[in-house]
């Protein structure tokens, strides 16, 4: 997500592993289209006072993970983040509209505000975000000063969560109602695109399949990623319809793949909240003719929280038809190991935060080894996500990971481009 620190750069933050603030400021000063968000946590001092600093530190570490994960999923360009106390600075070299940056910030705020489940308690944090789009003539100090002033202002206003650090009043953006209408038109008009993130085996680097990812190229806001897309769908009551649309389109697009290549689909909380989800998915499998034994469902902990028994029944019904199940984003947050016993799992898919430090941090490497050993004992294969350099790939292979995906080999691509990759 961000380059490793080099000699002369500020040291990384001990708690979160993020690079120093000076490193992020340097990125901001040289990028052509810099955007920035300063995220603060309202009344965070009360967390330390009530639960202690160890709980507070765990919460801050989780916030950092959520920021990095969401940014890596939603942004196409390079980005970096840093922490100062209970505030986080996220900068991105992203050529997007003001409205798109506002939408990204709203979805990021939603993700940070989700409950943080710790051993001793469950926390609900209240994020506040100041936004800015960089101007070539403006100094970095001036940008950071405006962000700081804006964040301090909205922290004192209970009903306000996001504000632009403008010298002048905020220009009108795209209203939520208009965005909802745009989305309904897009799904009716088959404008939601499916891209494929290739996956490879270790250690032979053979192409094994791809994860299907939803994208919406909005005519005004630009490209909208899956998390923001599903948030709009949930607001309009169309989350299940969007999920079925993506599954059908992904299976049709993968219908011509050569034998052995697998297709992975993401399962949302709204999917597993419906008792008939399994029947509906199997109906799409029959309709498209996609072989169920080449299909994998990727399920996150978030999708399981509302009703674990129902999720278990649904996944067992699906697995009985030859479809495999992966526990996705493993290590992103506080995973409940009970799921490993209750669910019909075939894979553990490591979150990128579990692999990005394995080449230079012995503790990260030790954690990876422990997870792989546990997976092996449970007869589960490990998929490493977020592999961005050859050193990470080699080490993941040496430690026993079975598969990987990441920008080292390929970014998400169209069905036609994937066919071309498979034909090489």
Are 259 and 150 contained in the same domain?
Answer: no
Please provide the average confidence, as pLDDT, over all residues in the chain: 84
341 assigned to some structural domain: yes
Instruction: Please state, in angstroms and rounded to a whole number, the distance separating the CA atoms of residues 17 and 353.
Output: 10
Q: What average pLDDT does this structure show over 181-189?
A: 91
Give the residue numbers spanning the domain of 327.
Answer: 177-423
Residue 12 resides in a domain = no
300 occurs within a structural domain: yes
Query: How does pLDDT run across 134-180, given as a tens digit for each residue?
Result: 665 566 777 787 888 788 878 766 668 898 887 533 333 456 678 88
Query: Are residue 186 and residue 152 in the same domain, yes or no?
Result: no
For residue 305, how many other CB atoms are within 10 A of its CB?
A: 15
Q: Is residue 347 predicted with pLDDT exceeding 70?
A: yes
Compute the Cα dihedral for 176, 181, 182, 187 and give only its sign.
Answer: positive
pTM confidence score: 0.66
Instruction: Using the predicted structure, report yes or no on whether residue 337 has a pLDDT greater than 80.
Output: no
Residue 140 placed within a domain:
yes
Pairing of strands 403-405, 381-385: parallel
Question: Is residue 8 included in any domain, yes or no?
Answer: no
Asked whether residue 220 falls in the same domain as residue 344, the answer is: yes
Does 271 lie in the same domain as 194?
yes
Decide: 270 and 240 in contact? Cβ < 8 Å.
yes
Count of domains for the chain: 2
Domain-ending residue, one of 133, 164, 195:
164
170 located within any domain: no
Q: Any residues with CB less than 8 A from the CB of 193 and at least 6 apart, and which? A: 214, 215, 216, 217, 414
147 shares its domain with 296: no
Instruction: Give residue-wise pLDDT tens across range 203-233.
Output: 899 999 999 999 998 888 788 888 778 878 8
Instruction: Using the predicted structure, report yes or no on whether residue 14 has a pLDDT greater than 70.
Output: no
* SS3 at position 293: helix
Torsion of CA 405, 408, 409, 411, to 10 degrees: 70
User: Which backbone phi and psi does 79 adopt, to 5 degrees?
Assistant: -150, 165
pLDDT score, position 320: 96
Instruction: Find the largest Cα–Cα distance for the chain.
Output: 61
Asked if the structure places residue 172 within a domain, the reply is: no
Output the pLDDT for position 147: 87
Over residues 257-272, mean pLDDT:
91
Listed in order, strand segments (DSSP E) in 143-221 are 162-164, 192-201, 207-218
In this predicted structure, what is the pLDDT of residue 29? 67
First-last CA distance in the chain: 28
Helix, coil or strand: residue 82? strand
The least confident of 27-36, 103-112, 115-124 is 27-36
Residues 287 and 197 in one domain: yes
Over 60: is that where the pLDDT of 23 sits? yes
Model confidence at 327, pLDDT cuts 50, 70, 90, reads very high
For residue 388, the domain's CATH number is: 3.20.20.450
Whether residue 235 is found in the same domain as residue 120: no
Quick check: 327 and 343 in contact, CB under 8 A? yes
Same domain, 71 and 191: no
Over the stretch 266-321, which tens digit does the pLDDT of each residue have? 998 888 888 899 999 999 999 999 999 999 999 987 677 667 888 889 999 999 99
Q: Are 400 and 381 in contact (CB under 8 A)?
A: no
| Domain final residue, candidates 164, 191, 217 | 164
Residue 25's CATH number: 3.30.70.270
Picking from 201, 193, 207, the residue whose alpha carbon sits closest to that of residue 258 is 207
Q: Does residue 10 lie in a domain region?
A: no
Domain match, 199 and 249 both = yes
User: Do 195 and 154 reside in the same domain of the chain?
Assistant: no
Residues 187 and 130 in one domain: no
User: Do residues 156 and 220 share a domain?
Assistant: no
């Amino acid at each position: 997500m961000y380059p490793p620190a080099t000699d002369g750069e500020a040291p990384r933050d001990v708690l979160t592993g993020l690079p120093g603030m000076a490193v992020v400021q340097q990125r901001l000063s040289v990028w052509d289209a810099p955007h920035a968000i300063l995220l603060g946590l309202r009344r965070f001092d009360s967390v330390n006072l009530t639960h202690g600093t160890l709980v507070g530190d765990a919460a801050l570490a989780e916030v950092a993970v959520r920021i990095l994960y969401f940014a890596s999923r939603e942004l196409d360009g390079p980005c970096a983040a840093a922490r100062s106390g209970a505030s986080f600075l996220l900068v991105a070299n992203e050529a997007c509209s003001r409205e798109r940056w506002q939408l990204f910030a709203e979805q990021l705020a939603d993700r940070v505000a989700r409950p943080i489940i710790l051993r001793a308690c469950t926390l609900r944090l209240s994020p506040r975000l100041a936004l800015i789009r960089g101007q070539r003539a403006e100094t970095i100090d001036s940008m950071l000063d405006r962000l700081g002033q804006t964040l301090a202002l909205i922290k004192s206003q209970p009903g306000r969560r996001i504000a632009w650090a403008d010298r002048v009043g905020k220009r009108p953006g795209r209203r939520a109602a208009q965005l909802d209408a745009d989305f309904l038109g897009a799904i009716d008009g088959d404008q939601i695109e499916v891209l494929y993130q290739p996956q490879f085996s270790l250690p032979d680097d053979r192409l094994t399949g791809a994860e299907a990812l939803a994208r919406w190229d909005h005519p005004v806001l630009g490209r909208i990623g899956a998390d923001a897309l599903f948030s709009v769908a949930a607001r309009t009551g169309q989350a299940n319809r969007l999920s079925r649309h993506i599954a059908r389109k992904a299976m049709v697009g993968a219908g011509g793949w050569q034998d052995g290549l697998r297709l992975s689909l993401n399962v949302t909380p709204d999917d597993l909240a419906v008792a008939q989800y399994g029947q509906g998915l199997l109906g799409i499998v029959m309709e498209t003719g996609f072989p169920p034994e080449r299909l994998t469902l990727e399920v996150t902990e978030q999708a399981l929280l509302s009703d674990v028994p129902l999720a278990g029944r649904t996944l067992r019904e699906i697995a009985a038809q030859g479809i495999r199940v992966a526990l996705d984003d493993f290590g992103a947050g506080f995973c409940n190991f009970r799921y490993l016993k209750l669910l019909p799992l075939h894979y553990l898919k490591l979150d990128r935060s579990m692999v990005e430090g394995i080449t230079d941090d012995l503790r990260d490497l030790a954690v990876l080894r422990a997870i792989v050993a546990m997976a092996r004992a449970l007869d589960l294969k490990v998929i490493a996500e977020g592999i961005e350099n050859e050193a990470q790939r080699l080490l993941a292979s040496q430690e026993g990971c079975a598969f990987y995906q990441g920008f080292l080999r390929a970014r998400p691509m169209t069905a036609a481009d994937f066919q071309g990759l498979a034909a090489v």
